[in-house]
Amino acid sequence: MYLQFFRASFLANIGKKQHSLFVELEARRGTIYDCNQKPEAVNISADSVYASPNEMKDKDKMAAIRQFPAILNISESSLRNKLNRKKSFVWIDRKISSAQSQQVKQLKIKGVDFIKESKRCYPNAYLASQIIGFAGLDNQGLEGLELYYDKYLKGKNGFALFLRDARQKKLDLKDKMLAPKDGYDLELTIDEVIQYIAERELDNSFRDNHAKGASIIVMDPHAGQILALANRPTFDLNEYSKVNKDQVRNRAICDMFEPGSVFKIVTASAALEEKKVNEQNRFFCENGVYRVGNHLLHDHTPHGWLTFTEVVEESSNIGTTKIAQLIGPDLVYKYVRKFGFGSKNGIDMAGEINGSIKEPRFWSKTSIGAIPIGQEVGVTALQLVCAYSAIANGGKLMKPYIVKSIKDKFGQVIKSFSPVVARQVISADTAARMRKILTGVIEEGTGRMAKMEGFSAAGKTGTAQKLEPNGAYSHNKFIGSFVGFAPAEEPLIAIVVTIDEPHPYYYGGVVAAPVFKKVAADVLKYLRTKQLPAEAYASN
């Protein structure tokens, strides 16, 4: 009577715990695809090992403690601690390799079993590592798009209550079950082929120039779609536990630097847009030395009289400063802001920064000779490529984006993204005139090493001294850059290349322009093949 009526509920619960095993069912994390549906991040099935210490005999525990550390990623002391707990379920090691799983199974230790889980895998290892980021052991996004879009990718876990027999052997029967809800897939604007081309050439320049860091972005100037983005140093996404912060950092959107001469397009565009000058107006460049306030401004090559066009082509600091003095600080600042500097571009990635630009009321007497030539201002590589894209596309500043759509596992679109015009920066006429001038930079000026065979291009070189900790400009640390677009008449791509602390050569026209040339040429050839009809391939 006592057992049947007064202790029935208590004893029944004990029996239920002995004959039931609660297991969480992991949701499938969404796949990340490039724009051609090539997988960049996928989930694969992997065994996870668990033990039931309450049901294990001492000899089984000792066998596990003696043999598992050599096979699995676990120490003897940690394993001993786990198996001595009064629990019916403890994890031993999760998402192990098939070879490890086979070795553990061959030991046939009682009280040890396996659960199938999904493991995040990155088929291309190093490719687009700072874009994609990575997910941790529990499929939780930790960096990059894996983190930014985690709420869409991760899904929702379910559970199952398995029945066990008197010997604690799991039966293929489920008492209760809630199926997991799989995560959504991402389709990127990134093109795997363009990404490979960009990384290949960036890697060569980073290595050959003994640089501290490097970045490249390839963008569709008309849509704002990011076709490729890469940084150096980089890392293998499948070995993320071994990386440091310097490798993970997405320099292209979160590193601020003084841009140098690539910034001169702001003053030049402002002067044309406000009708203060025309291409033939001449400026005396003081034979290479010009006093601004208490500072002597120099040109890298002394010049006398230069036309407005030649000032840009020859990248004259003095000519640019005289144009800035002509239009005034307020207009310079107005167009700095209109081109998107000093604020985020709004890309759908974590870590983007504003950059830095002072309002004219905070300028010193020498600022008019510094800001127009890319000093006393902090920018990102992303801001530069967006600004040049505005010149390439007829004057519109586009909001950059990297995810094209979010889909469920059946391919139904949950959310899609399309081009967004942030604002009209300059008129289409001014943009056309600037494109012509920037074409001259490559044809006749400092950017000759960016000139391609078969394609025209427009762009600007930049070489900026880095600041030392004491606030002085360094004489041996530079950032060499090149920003441009191609073809010059009807641009399909805009590219920014930055090389941080290259040596022994540090000029942007020497270390960055050749990267632009090689990437642009190969990308344009690739885009041309994509536009060919299927019959063209068959005939070849």
Instruction: Name the helix (H) or strand (E) containing 465.
Output: strand 458-467
94's tokens: 């999760």
Angle between helices 192-208 and 513-531 (to 10 degrees): 160
Question: What are the backbone dihedrals phi and psi of residue 213, each rounded to the nearest 5 degrees, phi first?
Answer: -165, 170
What distance in Å separates the CA atoms of residue 175 and residue 185, rounded to the nearest whole number?
Answer: 31
Contact assessment for residue 351 and residue 254, using Cβ atoms and an 8 Å cutoff: yes
Instruction: Fill in the amino acid letter for 455.
Output: F
How many other C-beta atoms can be found within 10 angstroms of the C-beta atom of residue 203? 18
What distance in Å separates the CA atoms of residue 190 and residue 124, rounded to the nearest whole number?
Answer: 14
Secondary structure (DSSP) of 3-61: IIIISHHHHHHHHHHHHEEEEEEPPPPPPEE-TTS-EEEEEEEEEEEEE-GGG--HHHH
What distance in Å separates the CA atoms of residue 225 and residue 38, rounded to the nearest whole number?
Answer: 17
529's tokens: 């093949």
Contact assessment for residue 313 and residue 437, using Cβ atoms and an 8 Å cutoff: yes
What distance in Å separates the CA atoms of residue 513 and residue 536, rounded to the nearest whole number?
Answer: 33
Closest CA to 418 of 406, 396, 401, 397: 401
Contact assessment for residue 357 and residue 338, using Cβ atoms and an 8 Å cutoff: no
Partnered with residue 96 across adjacent β-strands are 47
How many other C-beta atoms can be found within 10 angstroms of the C-beta atom of residue 455? 17
What distance in Å separates the CA atoms of residue 323 and residue 271, rounded to the nearest whole number?
Answer: 7
Which residues lie closer than 8 Å to 58 by C-beta, 6 or more apart? none
What distance in Å separates the CA atoms of residue 356 and residue 190, rounded to the nearest whole number?
Answer: 28
Task: Kindly give the pairing relationship between strand 185-188 and strand 32-33.
Answer: parallel
Which residues lie closer than 8 Å to 418 by C-beta, 6 or more apart? none
Confirm whether 20 is a catalytic residue: no
Closest CA to 430 of 492, 339, 521, 365: 339
Instruction: Fill in the amino acid letter for 205.
Output: S
Of 52, 205, 261, 316, the active-site residue reads: 261
Task: Kindly give the pairing relationship between strand 421-424 and strand 403-407.
Answer: unpaired
The residue assigned the tokens 């394993």 is 79
Instruction: Fill in the amino acid letter for 436.
Output: K
Which runs of consecutive H residues, i.e. helices, occur in 406-539?
A: 428-443, 508-511, 513-531, 534-539
Could you write out the three-class secondary structure of 218-242? EECCCCCEEEEEEEECCCCHHHHHH
Q: Which residues are catalytic, by number?
A: 261
